[in-house]
Amino acid sequence: MLTRVLVALLPLTVFFGSYAAVGPLTSFRVVVAALGVAALIRGASWSRQRALAIFGAVWIVVGVTSGLLASWTPAWGDLVNLVIGFVLVWALSRVRGDHTLGDLTHGWEVAIVISLPIAVWENRTTRHLPRFIDGQWQGRPLVYPLPGTFFPNPNYYALFLVLGLALIVWHTVIRGGWERWCHGVIALITCYLLLLTGSKLCLLGAALMAAGVALTWRWGRIAVSVGLATLVVAALGPLRATLMSIWNDVTAVMVHHADLGAHSWPVRLSLLAFGIHLVAMRPLIGAGPGGFAHLARHPGDFALHHKTNPHNGLIHVACDYGALIALVLIVAWVWGIGRAFRQCVRPPAATRQIARLYAAMMFAVPALMMANSVFVGPNVVALWMAVLVLLDTMLGSMDSRCDGWHRPCHRAGSPRREPIS
């Protein structure tokens, strides 16, 4: 029971963040440490935990090495957060059970309901809590209406919402009776709050989740194909001029390092170009923890407009920790996508349900990794990665209960029917 309570508290501790903290001792770190202890005492092993441990150790060694070789003071706090993230991934997968996803979802739902009045207040008054983007928007009405609630950035709030939305919608589908109605209402609330954040990438992530689920059904694949064909026709017709303008922006910024203004699109292109430049300079072990942020303060020919965060998870990892670490993440993502879709056709129904949720969340990774400012560090990203590994682990556990591809497998504790002799 204590483990289930800790799992349910994870989204809440991510939500409250530094507001529920005493210096560096945040509630999130306390819950992760407690889960780690529970995982050591009563956790169940899983097939790829050794590979995760090796990868985590290599990543940390690379971070320490690149940090020690840096000519500036590295952001060692980022490396600490990376360690905490790996502990969470390992612990959550070891303490998994039949109720883990439900406990996580309930915690997410409570956090979303708590955030509702705060987000509406921020949107209506354009006032924010003191720690919102370092307090620079506090007391400045009619300036910045995008809500962030207890998060320091509306992008992190949007990422928190869209991840919770995936779990809530999944429970809306698999549950019945009054539970389905409760989950459905909170799913609608989450959609409303996601629209308030105005995060185009998180909205795109939600659309990609829907497409990922649709691709697991025959008629869904037909619908996605029709949608893609419609986009191609639009790109060749009415949207051609817009796409040509976008391509010209990409060429101007990526090749010629042109300054196209301080709007989000050209600045993100400049951050991408600067990140690729840094990866080319330090491809093996990167610039060290916080290296991108440090070097971006003096970007040279790149027009970053005082932005020091990469706004791209893959570029962040490649710049600070090297291209090889980023390549492992890409391989893991491709492998996870393939595994999710393979499992969608396997019995029993519970396996297909988990596989569809896994496919949906993995399908949205490319969009969501660019929604937040930095990738290594924020608690919401650590929880996101932990949920993805948890889903993969649950699929592996279900496989181990099956006798074969064509023979149905049984839930733990359910009696097996012996063949009649």
Q: Is the pLDDT of residue 313 over 50?
A: yes
Contact 202, 361 (CB under 8 A): no
Average pLDDT over residues 83-103: 91
Residue 76 and residue 65: Cα distance in Å, rounded? 12
Average pLDDT over residues 213-233: 86
Residue 303 and residue 263: Cα distance in Å, rounded? 11
> Which segment of 7-11, 40-44, 187-191, 390-394 scores lowest on mean pLDDT?
40-44
> Which segment of 111-125, 128-142, 280-294 scores lowest on mean pLDDT?
128-142
CB contact set of 299 (below 8 Å; sequence gap of 6+): 270, 274
Beta bridge partners of 21: 26
* pLDDT, tens digit, 9 for 90 and up, residues 18-37: 888 887 888 999 999 999 99
Pairing relationship of beta strands 21-22 and 25-26 according to DSSP bridges? antiparallel
Helix (H) or strand (E) holding 13: helix 2-16
Q: Is the pLDDT of residue 401 over 60?
A: no
- DSSP 8-state class, residue 133: G
Query: Hey, is 22 helix, strand or coil?
Result: strand
Helices (H) and strands (E) in the chain, counts: 17, 2
Residue 8 and residue 227: Cα distance in Å, rounded? 37
**């439900």: which residue's tokens?**
102
Tell me which residue of 318, 340, 321, 369 sits closest to 156, measured CA to CA.
Answer: 369
Residue 203 and residue 52: Cα distance in Å, rounded? 30
Helix (H) or strand (E) holding 25: strand 25-26
Average pLDDT over residues 365-375: 87
Compute, in degrees rounded to 10, the torsion defined by CA atoms 360, 36, 326, 208: 10
Residue 89 and residue 293: Cα distance in Å, rounded? 26
Contact 12, 107 (CB under 8 A): yes
